């Protein structure tokens, strides 16, 4: 089977009709700063005649990327201080990020790690992987290892198996989680053997990154099916992006399709403030309104948690919407209902239709 090449050079964007030739010089400057790659299956999804194509918007560079807004930073989620050695980020006690490569199959224009992915030192050496796994082995509180990057599925099956074999030798590692865009953007990479080799002593989970329902092609659906059939539970993470998916009908279609493919929507990410990503930004209130609109109308198993990675490294937290708030203080409230000093016990709760109800503890 012949696989068509990725699009990696600005000239190829012109040839594919994705940018006007007059923009070539500027776009080449963007591509020098932030890596560029579009796989053939993704290219097939783009309608070059649609200036608002939601797939093109995610992957085709724009001149706007060179104008960093003042609130944008190189390390928006604060990985730096928690990176204890090359490729290993340890922020939470029970789980670590292991980044065996900084390469991806596609480069998203809104990537939160765009300063590190796709350039510089790209792949960990054997010795660096050994050192990272020694860090894990020395800490029994580490329950889960998250393989991310970059995209770990850029590595060959042989190199992945070597990492999984070494993790299998650490008895307290009970879960290994992959974060990857590959099942969507290069589904043929997920062969039945790849999927089978992930079935291990520990539970292997796959979290796919998918932002628009059109990305879930028959090929992607088949790759997901191979993973689930091999015993690898699949979750999805989606980044909320202006002009791509900041629309209740688009999100609803995406989350429904995922559940129909046996994938649980896990997180809807509020966009991190990486440099040159202003055109994708949405207000928090808009994200909350979208999540509010989906509650009740969309099956509960298709509802992700809307999260913010707090700038600076404080961690990820759910950011709403809020369905229940304390009632204004009621001095006549029944004193027989015990509540800790100062804690509210009378609440106002909203239902999916927007009606308000009293609720008392
Ligand atoms: C996002 C992240 C995780 C995973 O967080 P979950 O909420 O468990 O998905 C782990 N470590 C770091 C450093 C992270 O940024
Ligand atoms: S696949 Fe993930 S890490 Fe790679 S460019 Fe996209 S957002 Fe960044």
Name residue 180's beta-bridge partners: 208
H or E stretch at 222: helix 218-229
pLDDT at 335 over 80: no
Confidence of residue 336 (pLDDT cuts 50, 70, 90): low
**Phi/psi at 267 (5° precision):** -125, 140
3-state secondary structure of 148: coil
Q: Is the CB of 347 under 6 A from ligand 1?
A: no
Q: Which residues contact 334 (CB under 8 A, 6 or more apart)?
A: none
Start-end of H helices in 90-191: 126-137, 157-168, 182-185
H or E stretch at 330: none
Q: What is the whole-number distance in angstroms between the Cα of residue 358 and the centre of ligand 2?
A: 44
Condensed to tens digits (0 to 9), the pLDDT of residues 113-138 reads 999 899 877 899 999 999 999 999 99
Output the CA angle 261-263-266, nearest 5 degrees: 150
Q: Write down the mean pLDDT value for the chain.
A: 94
pLDDT at 302 over 50: yes
- The mean pLDDT of 38-61, rounded to a whole number, is 97
- Residue 178, pLDDT score: 98
- Residue 5, pLDDT score: 85
Q: Is the CB of 210 under 6 A from ligand 2?
A: no
Residue closest via CA to ligand 2's atom 7 equals 111
Confidence of residue 2 (pLDDT cuts 50, 70, 90): very low
- Residue 258, pLDDT score: 99
Condensed to tens digits (0 to 9), the pLDDT of residues 163-206 reads 999 999 999 999 999 999 999 999 999 999 999 999 999 999 99
If you count them, how many residues does the chain have? 361
Share of the chain above pLDDT 90, in %: 88
User: Is the distance from CB of 234 to CB of 208 less than 8 angstroms?
Assistant: yes
Condensed to tens digits (0 to 9), the pLDDT of residues 249-283 reads 999 999 999 999 999 999 999 999 999 999 999 99
Flag whether 111 is marked binding: yes
Whole-prediction pTM: 0.95
Condensed to tens digits (0 to 9), the pLDDT of residues 65-105 reads 999 888 898 899 888 999 999 999 999 999 999 999 999 99
Confidence of residue 230 (pLDDT cuts 50, 70, 90): very high
Q: Is the CB of 117 under 6 A from ligand 2?
A: yes
- Residue 338, pLDDT score: 56
Q: What is the whole-number distance in angstroms between the Cα of residue 197 and the centre of ligand 2?
A: 24
27-31, 52-56, 303-307, 337-341: least confidently modelled range:
337-341
Residue closest via CA to ligand 2's atom 8 equals 111
**Phi/psi at 26 (5° precision):** -65, -45
Q: How far apart are CA 79 and CA 315, in angstroms?
A: 10
User: Is the distance from CB of 99 to CB of 333 less than 8 angstroms?
Assistant: no
- Residue 311, pLDDT score: 93
Q: Is the CB of 269 under 6 A from ligand 2?
A: no
Comparing CA positions, the residue from 149, 161, 165 lying closest to residue 99 is 149
Q: Which domains does the chain have, with CATH numbers?
A: 80-318 (3.20.20.70), 324-360 (no CATH)
H or E stretch at 267: strand 263-269
Flag whether 108 is marked binding: yes
Condensed to tens digits (0 to 9), the pLDDT of residues 17-42 reads 999 999 999 999 999 999 999 999 99
Q: Which ligand is nearest to the CA of 114?
A: 2
pLDDT at 331 over 70: no
Enzyme catalytic residues = 91-92, 95, 104, 108, 111, 113, 272, 309, 316
- Residue 154, pLDDT score: 97
Flag whether 348 is marked binding: no
For a pocket test of ligand 1, which of 75, 206, 308, 315 has the largest count of ligand atoms closer than 8 A to its C-beta?
Answer: 315
């Amino acid at each position: 089977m012949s696989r068509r090449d990725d699009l990696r050079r600005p000239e190829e964007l012109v040839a594919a009709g994705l940018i006007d030739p007059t923009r070539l010089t500027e776009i080449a400057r963007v591509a020098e700063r932030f890596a560029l790659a579009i796989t053939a299956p993704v290219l097939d999804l783009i309608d070059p005649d649609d200036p608002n194509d939601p797939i093109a918007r995610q992957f085709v560079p724009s001149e706007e990327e060179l104008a960093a807004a003042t609130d944008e930073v190189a390390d928006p989620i604060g990985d730096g201080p928690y990176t204890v050695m090359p490729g290993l980020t340890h922020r939470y006690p029970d789980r670590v990020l292991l980044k065996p490569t900084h390469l991806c199959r596609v480069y998203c224009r809104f990537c939160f790690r765009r300063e590190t992915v796709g350039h510089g030192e790209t792949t960990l050496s054997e010795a660096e992987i050994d050192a990272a796994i020694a860090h894990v082995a020395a800490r029994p509180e580490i329950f889960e290892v998250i393989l991310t990057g970059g995209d770990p599925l850029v590595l060959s099956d042989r190199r992945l198996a070597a990492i999984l074999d070494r993790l299998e030798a650490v008895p307290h590692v009970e879960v290994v989680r992959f974060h990857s865009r590959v099942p969507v953007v290069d589904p043929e990479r997920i062969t039945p053997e790849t999927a089978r080799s992930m079935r291990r002593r520990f539970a292997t989970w796959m979290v796919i990154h998918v932002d628009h329902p059109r990305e879930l092609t028959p090929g992607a659906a088949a790759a997901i099916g191979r993973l689930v059939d091999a015993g690898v539970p699949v979750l999805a993470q989606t980044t909320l992006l202006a002009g791509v998916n900041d629309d209740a009908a688009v999100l609803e279609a995406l989350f429904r399709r995922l559940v129909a493919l046996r994938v649980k929507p896990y997180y809807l990410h509020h966009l991190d403030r990486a440099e040159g990503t202003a055109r994708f930004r949405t207000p928090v209130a808009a994200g909350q309104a979208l999540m509010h609109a989906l509650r009740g109308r969309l099956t509960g198993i298709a509802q992700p948690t809307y999260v913010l990675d707090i700038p600076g490294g404080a961690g990820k937290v759910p950011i709403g919407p809020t369905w229940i708030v304390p009632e204004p203080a009621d001095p006549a409230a029944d004193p027989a209902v015990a509540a800790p000093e100062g804690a509210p016990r009378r609440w106002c709760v909203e239902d999916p239709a927007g009606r308000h109800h009293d609720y008392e503890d």
